[in-house]
Structure 1
Amino acid sequence: MKRLNVDRARGMRGAQTDAEQLLWHHLRNRRLQGWKFRRQHEIGRYIVDFVCPDAGLIVELDGGQHGDQLIYDERRTVELEAMGYRVLRFWNNDALKNVEGVLEVILQALASPAPHPNPLPEGERE
């Protein structure tokens, strides 16, 4: 299963959407204020569009097909957040028409501390 996901992620890197290519141009090689991003990276059972491991930040770009899979995307976000990541979602159109605005939101998220999930139930927290 692990090898299958690695191969799938590699294939996805070669078949990026126009929006993913544009955003990757701004994120790659530490171009965004020195932050290191990876693209089409495996996290758990998911392959995320972009991740900044040092900040625990995932950036997802969604096309029109995601309008039909909102419940899946919501569950996926909840699971990734439970692993300690923050997830930002943008529509492909946002990246294509306003990449500077998307980058500004990403920078704001990078500047704010990441919340860490507390695995203890509410009544057992200190």
Structure 2
Amino acid sequence: MSEPENHHYNKNLKPLARNLRKDSTKSEIRLWCELLSGKRMLGFGFRRQRPVGNYIADFLCKELNLIVEVDGYTHNFKTGEDAKRDADLQVIGFKVLRFSDREVMQDIENVRRTLEIWIEEKTGNLSQ
């Protein structure tokens, strides 16, 4: 199945993405299993380790043009790289929301609330 051109699918990154899916971190697995798989997030579908532009997104929702990243400890030393990546992805139409490993592992409910609020604001579908 080919990806729509407007979502900037980079088939050259497919093998690396496949390896990253097999080698997911504990926090990525938790976020996927508890919040993002099976259209659990307000009915929106996400894909794991998805090539987009010159990057591989941890989680991507094409419908929302949303990328969710889970940052481990090493990202503390990559703030410049992460900012460039986010800016590059924004230029091609994506919003990037970042959560730390710690947030996912110790406060998954806040991660859930943050995602739900962003989606509700984006879609104009505010729940009561």
Query: TM-score, normalized by length of structure 1?
Result: 0.85
Moved over 2 A (4+): none
Report % sequence identity.
Answer: 33
Contact 1:57–1:110 under 8 Å retained in 2: no
- Aligned-pair distance for 1:97? 0.4
**RMSD after superposition:** 1.3
Q: Does 1:7 pair with 2:11?
A: no
How many aligned residue pairs are there? Answer: 113
Correspondence for 1:73: 82
1:110 to 119, 122, 128: 119
Highest Rg: 1 or 2?
Answer: 1
Q: Deviations over 1:28-62 (max 9, x none)?
A: 01112211001100101100100111011110000
- Aligned-pair distance for 1:113? 2.5
Q: Deviations over 1:46-83 (max 9, x none)?
A: 00100111011110000010111110000000000111
Query: TM-score, normalized by length of structure 2?
Result: 0.84
Q: SS at 1:41's partner residue?
A: strand
Note the residue ranges of structure 2 that are not aligned, 5 or more in a row.
Answer: 1-9, 124-128
Q: SS at 1:48's partner residue?
A: strand
Q: Does 1:88 pair with 2:94?
A: no
Correspondence for 2:40: 31
Note the residue ranges of structure 1 that are not aligned, 5 or more in a row.
Answer: 115-126
Distance 1:82 1:3, change over 3 A: closer
Q: Whole-Å Cα distance in 1 between the matches of residues 93 and 117 of structure 2? A: 18
Q: Whole-Å Cα distance in 2 between the matches of residues 76 and 55 of structure 1? A: 18
